């Protein structure tokens, strides 16, 4: 696992958007796995900027979102479908036919989940999967206790997640408006992506980030499954990194890697 500690959330978004941009430039018809939440908002804003200012094109990109609340129509402002269009898709040249967000209103959610898995496979699998982390360590909506081999399915949200998401999306004290169920990619589905990129910032994530990076691999913190992936990058800010035992080492590794990279650039430029 590569751990990158950014000085603040602005630098974090710059690094994350840079990794996504590099993926699109290297493979214009790549398949991106995308996440919702407050964490990736600034990253998406930067991608929109790269599109508008540098012509970064999403025309051949295919996307699959991690999850969606059951019972919310795409037009609902708190749906993840709405969020993705509002923050990213409506502002870039993506082909709507290539956009996939689980359907919260699917008449047969189980059949839909199977179909969603088939679509990911048909697209050739996910090249780069962006992830956030919930307060209880979940990735997508894989709540504690989710099998590390799980596939796309319906999950019941924990009371903690309902509370967190009420505050973030529906307004404080509006727990009753948060759906209790969601369709989510499984941990096993996520681990099949060729590359994982998890981002997190702020004090409130410090404890769970420590468990994700330095704790045991356990279904009680589904994000810890990233330790099983051969190409996982975690980008966090100083506040979220506060409890890491090997914090200085991660910084040292990143510094060495950048110095090496700079040397290669200098060599190529004949300096």
Which of these segments, 23-31, 106-114, 160-168, 227-235, binds ligand GLP (CB under 6 A)? 160-168
Q: CA dihedral in degrees (146, 147, 153, 157; nearest 10)?
A: 0
Q: How many angstroms separate the CA atoms of 33 and 49, rounded?
A: 20
Please report how close the Cβ of residue 243 comes to ligand GLP at its closest, in angstroms.
Answer: 17
Q: Is 66 in the site for ligand GLP (CB under 6 A)?
A: yes
| Residue 169 to residue 164: CA distance in whole angstroms | 9
Enter the DSSP assignment of 241: T
Length of the chain: 271
Among 34, 65, 67, 179, binds ligand GLP (CB under 6 A): 67
Q: What pairs with residue 196 in β-bridges?
A: 129, 232
Q: Is 2 a catalytic residue?
A: no
- State the nearest-atom distance from the C-beta of 199 to ligand GLP, in Å: 8
* By CB under 6 A, residue 102 contacts ligand GLP: no
Of residues 32 through 61, those in contact with ligand GLP by CB under 6 A are 35-39
- 138: annotated active-site residue: yes
DSSP class per residue in 197-230: EEEE-SGGGHHHHHHHHHS--BTTBGGGGGGG-T
To the nearest 10 degrees (0 to 180), the angle between helices 41-54 and 9-26 is: 50
Q: Is 67 a catalytic residue?
A: yes
Nearer to ligand GLP, 4 or 140 (CB): 140
At closest approach, how far in Å is the CB of 197 from ligand GLP? Answer: 12
* Binding to ligand GLP, residues 119-158 (CB under 6 A): 132-134, 140-141
* Shortest Å, Cβ 7 to ligand GLP: 19
Asked whether the CA dihedral 127, 132, 138, 141 is positive or negative, the reply is negative
Q: Which of 42, 68, 117, 143 is catalytic?
A: 143
Which CA distances in Å does 270 have to 187, 258, 259, 263, 266?
A: 46, 18, 16, 10, 6
The reply to whether 168 sits near ligand GLP by the rule CB under 6 A is yes
Find the shortest distance in angstroms from Cβ 264 to ligand GLP: 34
Distance of CA 196 to the CA centre of its chain: 8
Active site residues: 67, 136, 138, 143
Site for ligand GLP, rule CB under 6 A? 35-39, 66-67, 132-134, 140-141, 161, 165, 168
């Amino acid at each position: 696992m590569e751990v990158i500690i950014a000085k603040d959330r602005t630098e974090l978004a710059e690094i994350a958007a840079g990794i996504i941009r590099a993926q699109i430039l290297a493979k214009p018809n790549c398949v991106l796995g995308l996440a919702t939440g407050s964490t990736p908002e600034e990253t998406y804003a930067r991608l929109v900027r790269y599109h508008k200012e540098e012509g970064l094109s999403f025309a051949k990109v295919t996307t699959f979102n991690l999850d969606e609340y059951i019972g919310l129509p795409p037009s609902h402002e708190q749906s993840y479908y709405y969020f993705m269009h509002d923050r990213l898709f409506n502002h870039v040249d993506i082909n709507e036919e290539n956009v996939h967000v689980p359907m919260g209103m699917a008449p047969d959610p189980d059949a839909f989940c199977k179909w969603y898995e088939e679509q990911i496979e048909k697209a050739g699998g996910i090249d780069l999967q962006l992830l956030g982390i919930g307060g209880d360590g979940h990735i997508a909506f894989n709540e504690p206790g989710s099998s590390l081999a799980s596939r796309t399915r319906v999950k019941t949200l924990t009371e903690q997640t309902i509370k967190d998401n009420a505050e973030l999306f529906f307004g404080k004290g509006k727990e009753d408006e948060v759906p209790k169920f969601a369709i989510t990619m499984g941990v096993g589905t996520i681990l099949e992506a060729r590359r994982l990129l998890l981002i997190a910032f702020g004090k409130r994530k410090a404890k769970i980030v420590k468990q994700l990076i330095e704790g045991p691999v356990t279904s009680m913190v589904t994000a810890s499954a990233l330790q099983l992936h051969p190409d996982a990058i975690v980008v966090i800010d100083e506040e979220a990194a506060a409890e890491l035992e090997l914090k200085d080492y991660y910084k040292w590794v990143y510094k060495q890697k950048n110095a090496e990279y700079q040397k290669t650039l200098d060599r190529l430029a004949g300096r």
